[in-house]
Amino acid sequence: MKCHWFHLMPYQDLPEDFKEKHPSVWVDVSSELFDPARGHQFYNEYLDQLEFADSLGFDGICVNEHHANAYGLMPSPNLILASLARRTSNSSLIVLGNSIALYNPPIRIAEEMAMLDCISGGRFVGGFPVGTSMDTNFAYGQTPLTLREKYREGHDLIIKAWTEPEPFVFNGKYNQLRYVNIWPRPIQKPHPPVWIPGGGSVETWDWVAEHDYMYAFLSYFGYEPATQVMQGYWEAVDRAGRDRNPYRAGYLQLIGVSETDAQAEKDYAEAASYFYHRCLHVPDHWAAAPGYLTLKTIKSLKSPFSFEQLADLKWKDFVEQGYVVAGSPATVRDRLVEVIKEMNVGQLFSLLHFGNLSAELTRKNTELYAKEVLPFLREQLWNEWEDRWAPRPLKEEDRMPVAAL
């Protein structure tokens, strides 16, 4: 089992009446709510947390990309990883990822990721999300109906840019380049691992399975929908004639570890509520622009895609329905093993900071998880399988150490 420490980097000072007074956390959220001095504090605190996770032996540290929002302060996750590449030495550096269709031309991604792979000595994992509708269609103006086609063309271009040794011509529908020849090139051959974060779009499953990539379901809606999505993915894996190696699947989970179940509520209930009721305060009209979801995906949904369903949930619901796995180490271990086995996932994106969780509690959560949960999961799960989706860094003796000045 692989456990990664995933940071969303939320803005923590949204007011208590945010949901009532403000239309949305995304797209048209007022920048008057953002205090740059607090931004300074958050970025540095969050980088500390990711570096701490590396020092405790997490398999990977992970960040992602969002725009025009207070949910996650990383329009450029590659900047964050560049900093982490210099300050960590063991963990995989995972970006989940860069929204391909937003880069013009997308070889920019191939270049930056190759830089990150070189700086980190080959510890890099490149994730390629389509991106949310808020990020791609509304904040970045991409046409919803052609977003996925543009995304796939960009993907083909990036992979070719990484793997083709000589300059080549790329005559695409969205990109025309006479001379593609990126410098630097990634350390990892043929290219860094590609992980595809998804929100449950049907056609993504087949595409991921065909390409033999890792699929990461970034779910915030608890066990039931997550189980359904993973079931759909595994069926696509079967269709593609691939094995059911759990490492080809990942899953994001909010996790809170405390001394006891009761203490977990005291420690994490407020932050969970902040996350679900402020960070995910997204009205339906931003959730999916017309054309963002394919008709096939829409027909597969039981109810319209909506964040507004989260509005009334309380701590008890979060825990019972699996939005958050929280409690004593034993409770967390049991619940995680149950879910992980049920979904057959080998990569767990552990969200150990969420909402407005304090630095102190984040440290506690991370330490308890690293000590009481992570070793157990590693020992119990999936040792019979090989993780073919992990980065292949240079040998330790060939890697530059973190500099002590």
Binding site for other proteins (CB under 8 A): 137-138, 141, 143-146, 173, 284-286, 289-291, 295, 298-299
Burial 100-134 (b: 16+ CB within 10 A, else e): bbbbebbbbbbbbbbbbbbbbbbbbbbbbbbbbbb
Beta bridge partners of 147: none
The smaller minimum CB distance to other proteins, of residues 141 and 165, is found at: 141
- CA dist., res. 188 & res. 194, Å (int): 11
User: Which is nearer to other proteins, 264 or 289 (by Cβ)?
Assistant: 289
Q: How far is the CB of 300 from other proteins (least distance, A)?
A: 12
What is the C-alpha R_g of the chain? 20
Q: Which residues contact 339 (CB under 8 A, 6 or more apart)?
A: 223, 226, 251, 253, 322, 325
Min. distance of Cβ 375 from other proteins in angstroms?
Answer: 48
* Tokens found for residue 159: 């992979």
Tell the smallest beta-carbon distance from residue 304 to other proteins (Å): 8
Residue closer to other proteins by CB (options 255, 289) is 289
With respect to other proteins, which residue has the nearer C-beta, 190 or 290? Answer: 290
Residue with tokens 């996925």: 148
- Find all residues with CB under 8 Å of 101, minimum gap 6, and list them: 130, 131, 136, 142, 147, 150, 151, 154, 174
Cβ of residue 153: shortest distance to other proteins, in angstroms? 13
Smallest gap from Cβ 188 to other proteins, in A, equals 35
| Paired tokens of 290 | 């017309």
Nearest to 370 by CA among 80, 56, 133: 56
Q: Residue 135 carries which DSSP code?
A: I
For other proteins, which is the closer residue by CB, 101 or 115? Answer: 101
DSSP one-letter code for 69: B
In whole angstroms, the minimum distance from the beta carbon of 332 to other proteins comes to 40
Q: How far is the CB of 133 from other proteins (least distance, A)?
A: 10
* Separation of alpha carbons 172 and 373, rounded Å: 47
Nearer to other proteins, 55 or 146 (CB): 146
Which residue, 291 or 329, has its beta carbon nearer to other proteins? 291
| Of residues 201 and 219, the one with the C-beta less far from other proteins | 201
Q: How far is the CB of 337 from other proteins (least distance, A)?
A: 39
Strand ranges inside 49-101, DSSP E: 60-63, 92-96
CA torsion, points 103, 141, 74, 72, in degrees to nearest 10?
-150
